[in-house]
């Protein structure tokens, strides 16, 4: 397992233990896991984003900490939030993270996730000029998400 996966799982476990809220000290967490503090930053900025349903707050100084909150939303609100956060274009890996988050939160089942991943994969867009792929992918993702709500 990669170090970023270990850091992410550690934070997810903390969130589950504390009902969706966790406070960490970056240096202490890095020491506990055995990585550099910048690895913690990387995981926070790539895996705990508002699009993925998290709020990350940072307080600097001697008593500084990072507070991570899992946004609690019903299915309709979560889907609307994701649609609004997608923007005009999205790459394959970002769309895959969104689908994983939907699955992890129980908003879609495994078969729906698999279909969505297939429809948004790089292979599905091989005949589309590269400059249009992420635009088309965003449009298709938004349309799929609109139909999840129904």
pLDDT band per the 50, 70, 90 thresholds, residue 90: very high
Q: State the burial class of residue 110 (Cβ atoms within 10 Å of its Cβ: 0-12, 13-18, 19+).
A: exposed
Reply yes or no on domain 3-70 having CATH 3.80.30.20.
no
Instruction: Determine the Cα–Cα distance for residues 6 and 134; give it in Å rounded to an integer.
Output: 30
Instruction: Determine the Cα–Cα distance for residues 57 and 52; give it in Å rounded to an integer.
Output: 15
* pTM for this model (two decimals): 0.64
User: For 93-146, what is each residue's pLDDT tens digit?
Assistant: 989 988 988 888 888 999 999 999 999 999 999 999 999 999 999 999 999 998
Interhelix angle 26-33/3-17, rounded to 10 degrees, is: 120
Dihedral of CA 113/119/130/51: which sign? Answer: negative
What are the residue boundaries of the structural domains of the chain, listed by start? 3-70, 75-149
Domain topology for 75-149: 1.10.1200
Task: Please determine, for residue 88, whether its predicted confidence score (pLDDT) is greater than 70.
Answer: yes
Average of pLDDT values for 2-26? Answer: 89
């Amino acid at each position: 397992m990669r170090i970023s996966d270990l850091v992410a799982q550690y934070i997810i476990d903390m969130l589950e233990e504390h009902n969706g809220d966790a406070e960490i000290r970056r240096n202490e967490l890095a020491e506990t896991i055995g990585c550099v503090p910048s690895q913690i930053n990387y995981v926070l900025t790539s895996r705990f984003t508002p699009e993925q349903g998290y709020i990350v707050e940072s307080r600097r100084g001697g008593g500084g900490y990072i507070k991570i909150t899992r946004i609690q939303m019903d299915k309709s609100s979560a889907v609307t939030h994701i649609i609004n956060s997608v923007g005009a274009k999205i790459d394959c890996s970002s769309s895959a993270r969104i689908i994983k988050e939907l699955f992890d939160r129980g908003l879609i089942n495994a078969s729906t996730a698999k279909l969505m991943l297939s429809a948004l994969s790089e292979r599905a867009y091989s005949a589309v000029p590269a400059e249009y792929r992420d635009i088309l992918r965003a449009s298709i993702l938004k349309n799929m998400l609109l139909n999840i709500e129904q």
